[in-house]
């Protein structure tokens, strides 16, 4: 939660009344924080392959499953992705799988974000990082790279934050 709290403070990505999609939501701390920030008139849809360790609140909906297979997600102001691969200890393989997850989050965001919306996605820095950043730049008016203070010193995770979503013409 501390990572998202810092990201939200630095980017103003979460505001009252917003609809938020939380991908890879387990155990649930990001979901709870997002729900608190959007308030009772907002809504958070939390999706994960694993069971969340939180109770649903009036503005939280929980689904266990694969977001890539859900056709009925709706539209959102913000998509959050704290998804990370199960690490293998092989840095290059872990970085590539992290890149794949970010690209999955971006594909879901392109399908569900309203114009002007935002995407926050964790990525392990590696050879594909610039490709991911370029893909974000093609879809968002502003792209930031943030490394919250709560990230361990030895970690190579950062967050790509896309602000002001620009839907592609005709999509």
Annotated active-site positions, please? Answer: 122
List the structure tokens of 166: 């620009």
The separation between CA 166 and the C-alpha centre of its own chain, rounded to angstroms, equals: 17
DSSP E strand stretches across 3-154: 19-23, 43-48, 60-64, 76-81, 113-124, 140-146
User: In which region does residue 114 sit, left (phi positive, over 0), alpha (psi from -120 to 50) or beta (all else)?
Assistant: beta
Residues 41, 69 contacting (CB under 8 angstroms): no
Torsion of CA 127, 8, 33, 162, to 10 degrees: -50
Q: The sheet that has 157-165: what strands, in order across it?
A: 60-64, 43-48, 19-23, 76-81, 113-124, 157-165, 140-146
What is the rounded distance in angstroms from the CA atom of residue 119 to the CA atom of residue 108?
Answer: 10
């Amino acid at each position: 939660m501390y990572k998202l709290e810092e990201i939200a403070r630095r980017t103003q990505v979460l505001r009252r009344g917003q609809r938020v999609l939380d991908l890879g939501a387990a155990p649930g701390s990001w979901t709870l924080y997002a729900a608190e920030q959007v308030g009772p008139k907002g809504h958070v849809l939390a999706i994960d392959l694993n069971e969340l360790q939180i109770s649903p609140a009036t503005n939280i909906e929980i689904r266990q499953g694969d977001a890539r297979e859900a056709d009925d997600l709706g539209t959102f102001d913000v998509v959050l992705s704290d998804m990370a691969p199960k690490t293998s200890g092989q840095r290059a393989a872990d970085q590539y799988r992290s890149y794949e997850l970010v690209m999955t989050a971006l594909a879901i965001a392109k399908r569900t974000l309203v114009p002007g919306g935002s995407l926050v996605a964790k990525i392990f820095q590696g050879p594909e990082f610039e490709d991911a950043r370029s893909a974000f730049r093609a879809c968002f008016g502003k792209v930031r790279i943030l490394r919250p203070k709560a990230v361990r010193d030895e970690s190579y995770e950062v967050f790509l934050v896309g602000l002001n979503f620009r839907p592609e013409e005709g999509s």
